Every structure is written in C-alpha cells, then in structure tokens.
Amino acid sequence: MSCILRFWGKEFDPKEAIQSVPIVADKIWIIGERRFPESQTMLKLHNSSGVNFLVSNADFSEIQTQIESAVNFLSMHHSWLERLSSSPGLEGAVIDFGAEITNPFSQSYSFPPALLLALGKSNITLGLSVYPCDDGESEKA
C-alpha cells in the first residue's frame, strides 16, 4: 500500500468516529492492544488508537498516480474527512505517500497546490515515507 490516510489519538475512538464514514477502513487499532498479535516475538502494544484508509495502491515508483488518486479521494470525501479530522480525542491526521529512493544522494518530490489545499481544508498533514529501491544492479554484480 503506497498512499495511506491515518487518524490517531490516545483518547480517540476510531470505531465510533467512523460509524458514518461511507468507505471501509483498511485498518483499525486500539490503544493497549498488541501491534502484531500473530507474532510470538514482537510484543509491543499500540500507544494510541487509530484508523487507516487506503487512498491509492499505486506502486512506490508511481508517485504521480498516488497524488492524482489522493486529489480525487480528498475531493470526493471532503465532508466526512472534515468531520473525522475534528473528532474528539484526535491527535493527528496524515496522508502518507510511499515513494522509492532510486538515487541515494538527491531526490525530490513536489506536490500540487490542489492537493495541499484539499489537505489544509480537512486539517490533514502531508507525509512522505521513502524506501530504498533495489534496481537490480546488485544482482548483476
């Protein structure tokens, strides 16, 4: 999943907050529950409650597609996003774009005003998570 919309807070009740949301949440977590319940070794607990929504499943290499999907998503869902972003107990909301790093020394991404305006109207922060990309060169060596 490359572009995720996340809402969280220690006093936030995601199940209550999304009752009138017209789309299905990708993930819901509750404070105090195990982060990885299937794991026998990773025993960390969630320190907040929250909910994720999938905005775009375009690959990390398709940042422009992610941005276009996000602009459409924010436009189509503005009314409930605005309500959700003012939910009791909410500490933060972020739309997190996933991108690959193909050049470890210099890489930049820009975001269009339409996206930034839509995020501002809904009180949602812009995030960018970058991941190293294996371009196959290591296999050729």
Mean per-residue pLDDT, 109-123: 95
pLDDT for residue 88: 95
3-state helix, strand, coil in the chain (%, to 5): 25, 25, 45
At residue 21, does pLDDT exceed 90?
yes
**CA–CA distance from 86 to each of 9, 59, 91, 107, 122 (Å)?**
12, 31, 9, 34, 9
pLDDT category of residue 138 using cuts at 50, 70 and 90: very low
Mean per-residue pLDDT, 87-106: 89
Q: Which DSSP symbol is given to 136?
A: S
Task: Give me the domain span that covers residue 17.
Answer: 3-140
Count the domains in the chain: 1
At residue 75, does pLDDT exceed 90?
yes
At residue 92, does pLDDT exceed 50?
yes
Any residues with CB less than 8 A from the CB of 3 and at least 6 apart, and which? 54, 55, 56, 57, 58, 66, 69, 70, 95, 96, 97, 98
Mean per-residue pLDDT, 31-48: 90
> CA–CA separation, 129 vs 133, rounded Å?
13
